[in-house]
Every structure is written in structure tokens, then in C-alpha cells.
Structure 1
Amino acid sequence: MSSSKYLGVDIGGTKVHAGIVQAGELVQEVRFETSANAPKAQILSELAQQLAPLVTADVAGIGIGVPGLVDEANGIVHNVQNIPAWREVHLRQHLANCFGKPVYLSNDANAFAVGEKMYGQGQPYANLVGLALGTGLGAGLIINHQLHAGTLASAGEFGMIPYLDKTLEDYCSGKFFVQRTGQPGAVWHARAAQGDAEALAVYTEFGRHLGQALHIILYALAPEAILLGGSVSQGFAYFRGGLYESLGAFPFPLVAERLVVAPSALRHAAVLGAAALCHLKQRPLTSPPQAPAP
């Protein structure tokens, strides 16, 4: 990604994490809360004010990951999660007018996948899926070294697929722990870390469900790697057994055996990926990127 500086912005429903990325490193960052229930114009104004100190003359572009539908061609975000006023926001135009920089948008799961492809374990793979396991289930798709966003950046919404009595998201995200046990995943993670048998059994059950989601991803895309992000992925050691139990039943064993499944080891993947959107839009990849110099 050369030595150019880019601003990566990860917009959440209540918080924003932004930072300057140069040569694959986050060299400056800021975190701030959003006025999630404020009018659209107020949120836009506050966002620009908070980002302004980072947008220096040597910043070559701004990349943004948003939890919602994104019209990448026109720079418009729709239906942003947990920000009711953001039903249709011309975000690219607003920030370009404020800062005079090129602005690139996609959804947050796509940004995570791009971060892994540019800087993380995804670098060697032509085809990979970045699977975000948090309060919901999101996915970013890299196909033949390129981000595949689809219409309104909505490709990869596996969480919305019907599964059992609900959807995959209900069984393969933080929702599972709350709906299944009445307690959040953090409680079960703490107990599993102490070797609690009940907690380990809950994680094994979660892993089996996640393995079924991976079946669907393999049928649809047959990627070489699936990299896991989000808060729930921190429990990988506890649900790995259940996940591979499910994968063992995949009807094409040679495909399943070649699949790499691993939790992300990349710090700040969403911000790095948001910044990397600038690079991908300006100079699409045609081969695996080189890792940044140590």
C-alpha cells in the first residue's frame, strides 16, 4: 500500500474508531461516541469535527466502513444500524466537501475482509471470507483477490439465511448465547477460560451451529480461507472442536480439508481495512499484496 497515508474510519452504531494508516501500520488513532439518536445533520457535523485533526495535507484519501447498506458508486449509506436518522446519507459528498479528499465507502464486514487481505492472514489467498462474529453475523468476500461487494455492498449476508427456527445469525453470533442461556457471551467466555464444563458445552454447541454456516459458505463460494473476527471469535479455542465436528460431515471432504479457518490476529482490522479501501479503489489488486516491511 506504499507509504501514502490514508484515514480509515470504522463507524459503529454508538462509537467510531478512526486512524491514520501508513505502510500497514496504524500510526495515529481516535475513538469517540456518536450521538446515535440525534438528527442526521448533527451526527454528520460531529463526525467531521472529530475527524478534522487527522485529515492533514499529506492524507491521500479517506476510507469508511459502515454497518449498513452502502451505495459505493454514489457514496450513499442507507439504514445504518442503531442510528435511526441515517436512512439515506450522502456521506462521501459531505466528507469530500469538508476535507477535499477522495472518500471511499463499504460496509464494515467488507472493510474487515479487506484488512485481512491487505495486512493479515488473508494475504496468500485469492478467495477468502472475513466472517464477523459479534452482536450479528456479517461477512466480507474476497474473490480472485478482489472485494466482491454486490448490490449496495450487501453480498455475503449469510446471517439472514433461515436456519432451524430462526436464522443463521441467531445461532452464529452473540445472539446465540443470550437467546440460548439468557447470559451474554462474555460471561460464558470467562467461565470457559476457567475450564467450566457447562461453558465449554455451550461453546461446543455454538461451534456446531457455526460449522453449519460454514457448510453454506463452502457450497456457495468454496473459499480457501475463512477468517473470523468480532468479539465472539475470541472464544475460538472453545468452539473449535464443535466447528470441526460439523465440518467433518461436509460431503466434499477434500474441500473441507483444504479450508483454513482461523481467528483474526490482526489488530484494528476494521480501521486498516477501511483505509485499504482507498488503495483497492485507486489501484485494484491483481496478485497477493506484499506484507508491510517490519
Structure 2
Amino acid sequence: MKQIIGIDLGGTTIKGGLIEGQNLIKEEVADTRAPEGGEVTLTVLKDIIRKLKTDKIHAIGIGVPSVVDRTQGIVYHVQNIKDWNEVHLKQLLEKEFNIPVHIDNDANCFAKGERIYGLGRDFENFVGITLGTGVGGGIIQKGNLLSDANCGSGEFGEMPYLDGILEQYCGSFFFTNNYGTTGYEVARKVGQNDKKALEIMHEYGKHIAVLVKMIVLTVDPQAIIFGGAIAKSLPLFKESMYEHLNDFPYPNSIKNLKILGSELNHPGILGAAALCY
């Protein structure tokens, strides 16, 4: 059976996996060495690929936290990695390993991973949203990632909202900036029936409802699939979210919309691998 290497290239760690069929059969993790950046990070990446490479590998997929020229495989302005302002990553790696390389941003990878390996297999048109430090998004239409001009579609977190942008209210900043805590801690206290934590999660659901409205008004998908650390708390803010969707001008759109939490393990690795399909 053919195998794929999936690489989740983050600002702190690089996670790589060997995928065979639907299964992750081997994993490698290393420090990105982001403060050194440049050739140092590239060397770390190559070392992980070497450790995962077999004679059955037919493609390598890489997800990066940045804007990507998908056709040429050029990575621009990677956040938190020094000197990765323009890296011709596809060319460099294909020359090194003589294996096709596919690259996209990490949010698009999440959506593609859901389409190939996760709940997105049930939908031709959906949006994958990652709720973590930031809020990223990938749009699947007719079974494939939306073909856009600059790899920038789906970034709903950057939309203006209140005194800032949606990301400040739907990502981890909401908890740290407004309450000096984390989403994990709030969720833990909700489990103890803490009144203040319940109020915080209720307010968070209100902001997520705005995010949902913007997504539906933009692309009107069959489903929205939430991933990322905060998405694990979806049952805690889902009721509030739906409460604040009651005023949506097109109620049938909300009635027909599926809002789900990802069930994928290793979504970064699987999402990157999914680029190879």
C-alpha cells in the first residue's frame, strides 16, 4: 500500500507522520528551533522527513502557519520562525528527496483533513474552523479546497468585530485578555458548576454565533466543523451559540446547518497528508 508523509510545521514544534491508508503508523516530533530559523529549521524538517521516508512514499504534504503560493510551493512570512519570509519549500524538498511535495496553510489543511479522514467525508460543502490561539478557516466546495487567488480565503478570524477582530473574541485571547485565564481552566470550572465560568462560556458562545453568521452569509455551507483546543469545549458553549443564532435573518440556513466538533486525532499531520489526495 502506498504511503504519505504529513508534516505539521508549527512555530514551536514540527510534527511528522507516516500515513498508510487511513492510519498513522509512525510519528516524529522535533523542536522547530524557530529563533534560529532559516537553514536550521529547514534542516530539522529534512531530518524528520528522512526518519519517516520509506520506499513506498509517493507524496509529502506540509501544513504551515502562513500564506502559501500553492502552485509553486513558496511559503511567505511564516509567523514566529526567523527568516522564513520567502522559502521555496516545494522546490527545495523535491530536489532533496525526489518526491512530490504539496504545501498549504494549516487551516486549509485542517479542512482538507476533515474531508479525507474525518467528519467532512459526509459533506461536499463545508467550512473547517480551528479555534486555538488564533482562528483559522478552510473552505471546502464541491469536495475540494476553494480555489482562491492568494491562499487567503476562510480567514474569518480577521474580520472586524466590536473594537478589534473576531479572532480576539473567538480564540484564546478572549479568555486571557478579558478574564486572565485560559479556555481550559474555564471549561474545568464549568465542570464544577462554577457560576462565573458558566457566564464566561455563555458569553463566548455569543461571539461564536457571530462567527457562524459571517460564515453562513459568506459561503452558506452544509456544515461547520470546529477543531483546535477550544473546540473540545463545544458542548459547553453550543447552547449559548444557538441562542444567539435565533435572530439570523434566514432561519432555514441555521436549521439545515450542521455544527460539529472534529473527532480527528493528529489533525495537523492528517490534514497535511490530505493535501496529497
TM-score higher than 0.5? yes
Contact persistence 2:16–2:48 (CA under 8 A): no
Tell me the TM-score normalized by structure 2: 0.97
> Which of 41, 46, 49 matches 1:48?
46
Contact persistence 1:129–1:223 (CA under 8 A): yes
Matches within 5 A, 1:24-103: 24-103=22-101
The equivalent position to 1:236 in structure 2, one of 231, 234, 237, is 234
Aligned-residue RMSD, C-alpha: 1.1
In the alignment, structure 1 segments of 5+ residues that lack a partner are 280-294
Question: d(CA) in 2 for partners of 1:110 and 1:62?
Answer: 16
2:231 maps to amino acid: S
Measured in 2, the distance between the counterparts of 1:116 and 1:134 equals 17
CA distance in 2, matches of 1:149, 1:239: 32
CA deviation digits over 1:145-197, x for unaligned, max 9? 11115233211111111001110000011111011101122221221222212
- Summarize the alignment of residues 112-191 of structure 1 with structure 2, pairs less than 5 Å apart: 112-191=110-189
Kindly indicate whether the alpha-carbon contact (under 8 Å) linking 2:30 and 2:44 is maintained by their aligned counterparts in 1: no
One-letter identity of the residue aligned with 2:41: I
**Percent of aligned pairs sharing the same letter:** 39
2:204 to 197, 203, 206: 206
Aligned residues: 277
CA distance in 1, matches of 2:49, 2:21: 20
Give 3-state SS (helix, strand or coil) of 1:265's partner.
coil
Q: CA deviation at 1:121?
A: 0.9
Structure 1 stretches of 4+ moved >4 Å: none
1:91-147 Cα distance to aligned partner (Å, 9 max, x none): 111211221100000000011101111111111211100000000000011011111
**Equivalent position of 1:251 in the other structure:** 249
* Paired position in structure 2 for 1:284: none
- Cα separation, 2, equivalents of 1:260 and 1:119: 18
8 Å Cα contact 1:174-1:232 kept in structure 2? yes
- What is the identity, as a one-letter code, of the residue corresponding to 1:32? A
Residue by residue over 1:241-261, the C-alpha shift from the partner in whole angstroms, topping out at 9 and shown as x without a partner, is 111112222110111000000
